[in-house]
Amino acid sequence: MNKVIQSEMIVPNMHLLRLEAPDVARKVQAGQFVIVRPDEEGERIPLSVADWDRSAGTLDIVFMEVGASTGRLATLKAGDAIPTCVGPLGNPTQTGYFGTVMVVAGCYGIGSMYPVARDLKASGNKVLTVVEGRSSYLLYWLDKYVPVSERIFSITRDGSQGQKGRVNVLADLIHGLKKPPDRIIVNGCTFLMARTSEVTKQLAIPTIVNLNPIMIDGTGMCGVCRVTVGGKMKFACVDGPEFDGHEVDWKEFLARRKAYMSEEAWFFRKSEPQAPLHEEGGCHA
């Protein structure tokens, strides 16, 4: 059992969960994820590790409430416990020296990209952070990004903070820099990653995405997380979750992600009849 140390909604529909998980906290690195189960009957869901404290043996996870399992996780309180927290899983982010690295984060990715930005800064890179959301009140953790970023840019769809628009305004933002970044790393909803990759392909800037397919075991056994990258079949859980965004077959990826949508919606409405699927904080960059 993994004890809940802290549980809070940080912005509408986005939650921070601090779990006691000393074995994972000892080994975890930026870009890795865990598989958790909210209760004994719950399904296994992958969630990225957004921060950790090795000496206290704790992990921070930032998650968006989108369905049955995340809905159950959102009801947990400090002192509760969950039956499963397996990890660390997946390959860590490659965080050596690249020069200037732009970190593009939206939705739950604002949480999970924080340790990536921190490691990139520690490796001597100039880190430019871009946070994206529907409105300023959905952006969070900017205070954590300040010490690890050379500059922080915001993109909001309603223009309430930073540049108004969707992630396609990234091209203007990059053109406004003295020199384009040497590398871009992006995490958040699928549309944010796909659109960013489209924009940066035109600009020929190497772009890494953190894919979020449906997963079951997280260890390369079930094949559910199959993705096509550069024409080759990969399993996101063991070969990723990070891949070259310019090489991902986004059409296939989006289609596979939607495979269980009607069942998920049915199950969520059955268990949470009052709650709409993708309410506040739902993102479609």
Ligand X SMILES: Cc1cc2nc3c(=O)[nH]c(=O)nc-3n(C[C@H](O)[C@H](O)[C@H](O)COP(=O)(O)OP(=O)(O)OC[C@H]3O[C@@H](n4cnc5c(N)ncnc54)[C@H](O)[C@@H]3O)c2cc1C
Considering all CA atoms of the chain, what is the largest pairwise distance in Å, rounded to the nearest integer? 54
Q: Phi, psi (5° rounding) for residue 13?
A: 75, 0
Q: Which does 108 bind (CB under 5 to 8 A by kind): ligand FES, ligand X, none?
A: ligand X
Q: What angle do CA 153, 141, 104 make, to 5 degrees?
A: 40
Shortest approach of ligand FES to residue 120 CB, angstroms? 26
Report d(CA 219, CA 2) in Å as an integer: 20
Per-residue DSSP letter, 141: -
Site stretch for ligand X (CB under 6 A), options 61-69, 113-121, 150-158, 161-169: 61-69
Would you say 47 or 131 has its CB closer to ligand X?
47
User: Does 2 interact with ligand X (rule: CB under 6 A)?
Assistant: no
Would you say 90 or 115 has its CB closer to ligand X?
90
Per-residue DSSP letter, 169: G
Would you say 177 or 275 has its CB closer to ligand X?
275
Per-residue DSSP letter, 21: -
User: Does 181 interact with ligand X (rule: CB under 6 A)?
Assistant: no
User: Does 156 interact with ligand X (rule: CB under 6 A)?
Assistant: no
Residues in the chain: 285
User: Does 237 interact with ligand FES (rule: CB under 6 A)?
Assistant: yes
* Neighbour tally for 125: CB within 10 Å: 23
Binding mask 204-223 for ligand FES (x = CB under 6 A): -----------xxxx-xxxx
Number of residues lying near ligand X (CB under 6 A): 26
Would you say 110 or 237 has its CB closer to ligand FES?
237
Sequence-separated (6 or more) residues with CB below 8 Å from residue 196:
104, 167, 170, 184, 186, 207, 209, 245, 285
Q: Phi, psi (5° rounding) for residue 206?
A: -50, 130
Q: Which does 68 bind (CB under 5 to 8 A by kind): ligand FES, ligand X, none?
A: ligand X
User: Which alpha helices (H) appear in 177-224, and where do they start and end?
Assistant: 190-202
State whether residue 102 is helix, strand or coil: strand
Shortest approach of ligand FES to residue 239 CB, angstroms? 9
User: Does 9 interact with ligand FES (rule: CB under 6 A)?
Assistant: no
Binding site for ligand FES (CB under 6 A): 215-218, 220-225, 235, 237
Question: What residue ranges bind ligand X (CB under 6 A)?
Answer: 33, 45-48, 62-64, 66-71, 90, 108, 112, 212-215, 241, 257, 261, 264, 268
